[in-house]
């Protein structure tokens, strides 16, 4: 499944995801559900940075997910199979459900490759 279709389906069924972006192995934005291309790039960069920093703190074990809770929602970054997906959420999301939804998108996009 292409990344754009996968994101459309996610946003259609998830009541917790507000914005979402998928980036490829090189960091390029493959698909986004954000108000602008600039916002998509900001989210992709923020997610990549969080995953990288978490990996540096916990060396030896790959970091697959980072969640940062903010006052009005969360930022969740998940990486798998060379791709990364980053989402903003509503306040107090069900973290495990959001992570599962994001991983499902990555797997569906990965099946196409």
Q: Give the residue carrying structure tokens 């992570």.
A: 99
Q: Where are the beta strands (DSSP E) in 1-113?
A: 17-23, 29-33, 65-70, 73-80, 83-89
Q: What's the sign of the alpha-carbon dihedral 102, 103, 108, 113?
A: positive
Q: How confident is the model at residue 22 (pLDDT cuts 50, 70, 90)?
A: very high
Calculate mean pLDDT across residues 90-102.
93
Q: How confident is the model at residue 111 (pLDDT cuts 50, 70, 90)?
A: confident
Question: What is the predicted pLDDT for the residue at 93?
Answer: 93
Asked whether the predicted pLDDT for residue 113 surpasses 60, the reply is no
- Phi first, then psi, for residue 59 (nearest 5°) are -65, 150
């Amino acid at each position: 499944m292409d990344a754009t279709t996968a994101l459309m389906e996610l946003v259609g069924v998830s009541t917790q995801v507000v914005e979402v972006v998928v980036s490829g192995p090189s960091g390029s934005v493959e698909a986004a559900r954000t108000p602008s291309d600039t916002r998509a790039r900001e989210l992709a960069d923020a997610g990549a940075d969080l995953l990288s920093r978490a990996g540096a703190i916990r060396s030896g074990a790959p970091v697959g997910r980072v969640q940062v809770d903010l006052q009005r929602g969360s930022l969740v970054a998940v990486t798998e199979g060379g791709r990364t997906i980053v989402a903003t959420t509503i306040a107090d999301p069900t973290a495990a459900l959001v992570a599962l939804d994001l991983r499902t998108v990555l797997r569906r996009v990965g099946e196409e490759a």
